[in-house]
């Protein structure tokens, strides 16, 4: 039951850690996580709570996913990922649609990163991916992050085209969290096909945000890293 899940999380609260997490996830006025409330619970402990409550209905998941408490939302998403993995195709579609209806509640980078590849990326692996391009053009920071992070699942399956196209769409985005996300996905792509990553970098390194570039070239040898950093204006 939902009330039992909330009780289990409340028992694990750590006020000192909550203060640290509140600062780390930028919950101050005007920051990207403004208004987010933390209990101070580690991710492994939240995963453990999620495993105990996999029988929640979608209505119950919706309720806790709408909570202002960060750990409520993340635990709800862990349950959603577990449910998705064991669902049939009809069930996966239902959970994929549910996820996209709730992007307003998937509103911090850890919430996106722990779930977007597992649900959005996995579902779209062999399907039309136009929804990702719609998300990439959104005015919502987290929808844009979902669009690029979801492609991690494609990368793992040696599908690189959409990562590169969405990275191109997000090149001029102004937010640091998008710069980091795009750079990270380019780096992951490069681990599997460095030639394709370098073709992208040779075209865009001089205009991409420096943080994005640094993330993208992090695994290159020093000589190659310096080559791309020198091309940055």
Average the pLDDT over 125-141 and give the result: 97
Q: What is the pLDDT of residues 166-181, one digit of tens each?
A: 999 999 999 999 999 9
Gap between the terminal Cα atoms of the chain: 56
222: its two tokens: 């020093």
* pLDDT for residue 233: 57
Q: What is the pLDDT of residues 189-222, one digit of tens each?
A: 999 999 999 999 999 998 999 999 999 999 999 9
Residue 105 reports pLDDT greater than 80: yes
Q: What is the pLDDT of residues 22-57, one digit of tens each?
A: 998 999 888 898 889 999 999 999 999 999 998 899
Kindly list the structural domains of the chain, giving each domain's residue range(s) and its CATH number in brackets, ordered by start.
1-105 (1.25.10.90), 115-233 (1.25.10.90)
Q: What is the pLDDT of residues 106-122, one digit of tens each?
A: 999 999 999 999 999 99
* pLDDT for residue 55: 85
């Amino acid at each position: 039951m939902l009330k039992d899940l909330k009780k289990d999380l409340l028992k694990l609260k750590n006020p000192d850690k909550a203060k640290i997490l509140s600062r780390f996830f930028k919950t101050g006025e005007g920051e990207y996580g403004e208004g987010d409330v933390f209990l101070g619970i580690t991710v492994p402990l939240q995963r453990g709570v999620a495993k105990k409550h996999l029988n929640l209905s979608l209505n119950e998941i919706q309720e806790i996913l709408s909570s202002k408490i960060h750990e409520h939302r993340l635990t709800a998403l862990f349950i959603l990922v577990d449910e998705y993995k064991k669902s049939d195709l009809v069930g996966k579609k239902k959970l994929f649609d549910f996820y996209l209806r709730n992007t307003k509640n998937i509103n911090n980078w850890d919430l996106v990163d722990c779930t977007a590849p597992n649900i959005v990326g996995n579902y779209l692996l062999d399907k039309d991916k136009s929804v990702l391009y719609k998300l990439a053009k959104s005015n919502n920071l987290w929808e844009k992050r979902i669009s690029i992070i979801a492609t991690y699942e494609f990368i793992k399956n040696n599908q690189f085209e959409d990562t590169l196209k969405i990275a191109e769409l997000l090149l001029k985005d102004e937010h640091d969290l998008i710069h980091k996300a795009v750079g990270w996905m380019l780096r992951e792509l490069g681990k599997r096909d460095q030639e394709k990553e370098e073709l992208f970098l040779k075209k865009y390194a001089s205009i991409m945000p420096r943080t994005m570039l640094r993330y993208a070239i992090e695994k290159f040898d020093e000589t190659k890293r310096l080559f791309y950093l020198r091309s940055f204006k």
